[in-house]
Structure 1
């Protein structure tokens, strides 16, 4: 696996500005943490919260997925992981980055939705957003994302402005 170009700079800026980076995934948390540790270092990887499916490891070493939301087709309904932030006394601006079908449930709950352009041209999330009228920003890598996030966080632009409304 490769780290998305620009992610290290994006993460460093977020960390320097006290902006939490949370990975919301339909994958398995221990595997994500291990890959992330390899890509950005164990210390940085341990600072990033991961909301994903978990695993149980039997005495014989066999792994079994422990789904967050077993009724979801992806084992994790991502909207249930981001909606609690809406209930905070001072809800933060929610920037959400997605690339596929498993992100559809969360797409309409983000303030700024970034949809990753995939190399194969397939993009179910973008098609869903277009069909449902959900404003989003297409991106190829995190180097394109950082200036947009910075402009909203610093107040240079509003969410409405970056979404081109």
Structure 2
């Protein structure tokens, strides 16, 4: 994809990475694993899904019920995670690469931060997990029964991913050295990631899932990936461009030239079709049911547990 030259092309880019958690770093959804196995169960969660799809109840209302169905001490729920979850085979090497290069790595998720933190400790170790910034909802008095979410933002979805990404961009602009500009990289798998993905300068979408399908359908620039090893190669090439002003391995990263445009838009009429046609209820569905919205496009759109 050809990128037109701008004055910013000569500036060094401060690479900042955001990644979705469920379905991206891990192949399964942590909340679904806990609730299906130790809470209300799959049938109960499916009932909540139907209430949400009908518009009868909001995301936060049914999420309160979903997490509230867990009546076990917080620490008792994680053996099932170790036995059930599978981490992307290239993630640990990619994360270590980011640490070595000084690229800030952020997890952004509509899940619960204590759950994500403990899961990362199981798979990465406490020392490595402690280094990772997690942008997610919280849990009231971890260890309390029943579980009660504490929402990060005052919105129906509980977490505004686009707001979080732009806050990081603003902070990065303050911290940039002379001649540097922030470059936001977002990694995701489902339509639930669109709010953050549209704010990114470089977007990676897991191959064959719903985020890639929407990118193709609406001509959104992105780079597909199968594992984080693919992303590592692309980020290495992107970083090399700042040093040599070449495409690295010859396969240019697909930049999102519309990111700045999206950030400056204020009217619905000016929003690209993908965003203008999404009603609030649809956006909420994307955030709550990532399994539903992360299926390959050629499969029936039913919840896969």
**Structure 1 length normalisation: TM-score?**
0.85
Structure 1 counterpart of 2:109: 25
Larger radius of gyration: 2
Higher helix share: 2
CA shift in 2, pair 1:49/1:139, >3 Å:
same
Matched, 1:113 2:185: no
Matched, 1:144 2:230: yes
Aligned-residue RMSD, C-alpha? 2.3
Cα offset, 1:20, TM superposition: 1.2
- Specify which of 48, 71, 74 is matched with residue 155 of structure 2: 71
Unpaired runs of 5+ residues, structure 1, are none
Cα offset, 1:61, TM superposition: 3.1
Name the SS of the counterpart of 1:151 in structure 2.
helix
Matched-pair contact (CA < 8 Å) for 2:201–2:255: no
CA shift in 2, pair 1:58/1:21, >3 Å:
closer
**Structure 2 length normalisation: TM-score?**
0.48
Range with greater deviation from structure 2 (108-117 or 126-135): 126-135
- Length, aligned pairs only: 159
- Specify which of 140, 144, 152 is matched with residue 56 of structure 1: 140
Cα offset, 1:70, TM superposition: 4.4
Higher strand share: 1
